[in-house]
Amino acid sequence: MTRREVNPVLWGAAAILTAAAVAGTVHALRTLDASGERLAARRETAASLRVMAGELAALQARRRKLDAVPGAKAVQLDTILRSALGGAAADDVRESTEELDPPWRLRRKEVVLGDLPLERVLAAVRQAEAQRPPWRLAECRIEASPAAPGRGRTVLVFETLEKRRGAG
């Protein structure tokens, strides 16, 4: 290569490299733009995952709180209701059990009460909820008595959490 040829070669290389650099910069800018959008989408996904994780953690925290409570069998609901309703018996009682994560199980009782004063029914519910472990009211259906205000036929669904026998 002669000295005379050096500059055209160098300038040629400079032109090619400059063109490549400009093209690379345009490509990089476009990629950055697209990657910015993708990153924003990822941030959004991460945020929704954080929300889910937070909600799940809150639920798990409650479960852990209950885990720490010493296990006990729930008091017989029929006994509580009979006592609170002045000896009146339920028309019908149905019980179901749902096995949860060990050692827990969920007991549900559906109690159908005849035409009774609502105040007494609510007092009975409060008494059931005051037990340890409590029977919590999960559903309440009242059909008011057309003839006597303040009275009605009631369907109450109670539920309680119990540890299976042999667990803490």
| Residue closest to 167 by CA, chosen among 79, 87, 70, 94 | 70
Tokens standing for residue 91: 């028309």
Residue 115 touches other proteins, criterion: CB under 8 A: no
Residue 54 touches other proteins, criterion: CB under 8 A: no
Alpha carbons 60 and 63: distance in angstroms, whole number: 5
| Residue closest to 92 by CA, chosen among 107, 76, 114 | 114
Query: Site residues for other proteins, window 68-97 (CB under 8 A)?
Result: none
Q: Are the beta carbons of 157 and 108 closer than 8 angstroms?
A: yes
- Catalog residues that contact other proteins under the rule CB under 8 A: 3, 6-7, 10-11, 13-15, 17-18, 20-22, 24-25, 27-28, 31-32, 35, 38-39, 42-43, 45-46, 48-50, 52-53, 55-56, 58-60, 62-63, 65-66, 98, 100-101, 104, 106, 118, 122, 125-126, 129, 134, 136-144, 146, 149, 159, 161
